[in-house]
Every structure is written in C-alpha cells, then in structure tokens.
Amino acid sequence: MRDSRETFVNHAFVTGYPIKHSRSPLIHGYWLKQLGLPGSYRAHEVKPEEFETFIAKLRDGTAGFCGGNVTIPHKELACRLADRPDELSQELGAANTLWLQDGKVHATNTDGRGFVANLDERAEGWERASTAVVLGAGGASRAVIQAVRDRGIKTIHVVNRTVERAQELADRFGSAIKAHPMGALQEVMTGAGLFINTTSLGMDGNEAPVIDFGVMAADAVVTDIVYVPLKTPILAQAEAQGFTIVDGLGMLLHQAAPGFELWFGCRPTVDAALRQLIIDDMDKH
C-alpha cells in the first residue's frame, strides 16, 4: 500500500501523429483545476515507427506516465500491444485509453461510451428507436455501431460508398448490422428513429449531400460525430426539417471522463463551462 504521508502525482498523455491540435489537454486541464488535483495531462507526439518503444517505456515506467489517450494513427496498434485489452477494445480492434496497473498496460475504448453519453444528455429516450442508420463505414463508425448495438437498437443499417466496407462491419458486429450501398440510403431511412453521420462530409466547410429526413420517424434524432463546425450541414438540414439534432462535441467530452477517473482517481463532470471552453477554443482556430 502507498504510505499516506507520501504525495503521488500522476501524469497522463494524449498521443497521436500529429497531435498538436488535440483539445484533450484543455479538457483534462480543466478538470484537474476544477477538482484541485495534482497531476498533469499533455500532448505527446509519437511517430508510428516509435510507438512500440513508447508503449515499452510506459510499461516499465521510464515514460513517466500512469496512462493516457491514444488517437490516430495508433489506436489499432495500442490494442495489439497492450497486455490487458478489455473485451470492448478487442472486439473493436482499437483502443483509445491506456493505464498502468500491476506493471501491465491495460486498454479500453471509451469512444462508444462517449457517443451514447452525449445522446443520453441531449436527446433523452433516443434508445427507444428500433432502427438506426449509420452513414459511413470508416474507423470512426466502429465504436458508434458497437455502442448503439449494445444499448439495444435492434437493426442498424450501415450505408457506405463501398458496400464491402459496410459488410466488414456487419461481419464484425453481428446480425443486427445490415450493409448497404449509398443508393439505398432513403429506403433504409424510412421509419428509422436514429441517424448517425460518421463520415467527414460537411467537416470544416466541406460539402455535404442533400438528405431528405422527412421519411424518418417523426421523433427521430439526427446526430453527427463531427464537431467542427458545431452545427454541420447535415445537422442544419435535419433541424430545418424539424428533427431533434445532437452535435458531436459531447462525444469528445464524455469519452474523456472514464480515462480521467482511471488516472486521477476522481470521476469528473461534463458541464456547460467545459463545453463553452472548447467552443471558445474552436472559435480561435
């Protein structure tokens, strides 16, 4: 056991390549200050060819970190290199949260938990939908599909330009997942209660297709994991058509909380002040 007279200060990281634009240090820095906890959280850039060495140094303590977050392009390798990846990250084949315990590197993925926590906060009752439509079959869609499936959505239609990629997700996540080409979008949206954009369509001012959300259930929720801009073209269309919308910023905030608790021993709160802090930072860039 630790001697109560000693002061232990934990240091955590976010790593990726590149990493300088990450807002995670702002989020965790806010919580450390708010809760009055010692410790630090900083961006630590690691090149892909150096990532295995970084994990070895994390494991033996020479990196000086108790754990941290992993982002693009290291998530898959982080899962493979971890000594104790949990079932969630193993099914995904990707980890975004690491922590040291008993000399072993443990791993999980909190992206899906962040996604559903955001919906819980901003569109209560969303999980009553029986059918969801997921636009896109890239890496970002995996955690979303897993989380929505695990919350009991019975049918999840994955629509993608390359239907083979959507089929890979159906093969990975089970019979609830149905793969479709883009041409089937309107058909599978008919009567659906949840629409999720996991593509980069509409990000940073990029164009997005015109979508008729009117075929969905009257109480349907439309959400986008993109948060720059906060109200994406897809969300703007859905809102104009009278649907409840949920932006992607909350996913970023909520996915951070489980890791913070692992590293610093205290569960933080996603509050309005934190959300505004990140919005203000987005406005600067």
**Residues involved in catalysis:** 75
Q: Is the peptide bond before 229 cis (omega within 30 degrees of 0)?
A: yes
Torsion on CA atoms 24, 107, 88, 249, rounded to nearest 10: 0
Report the DSSP pairing between strands 104-108 and 84-85.
parallel
| Separation between Cα atoms, residue 280 and residue 149, nearest integer Å | 34
CA-closest candidate to residue 244, choices 285, 205, 280, 195: 195
- Helix or strand or coil: residue 129? coil
What's the token pair of residue 157?
A: 């239609």
CA-closest candidate to residue 201, choices 225, 166, 167: 225
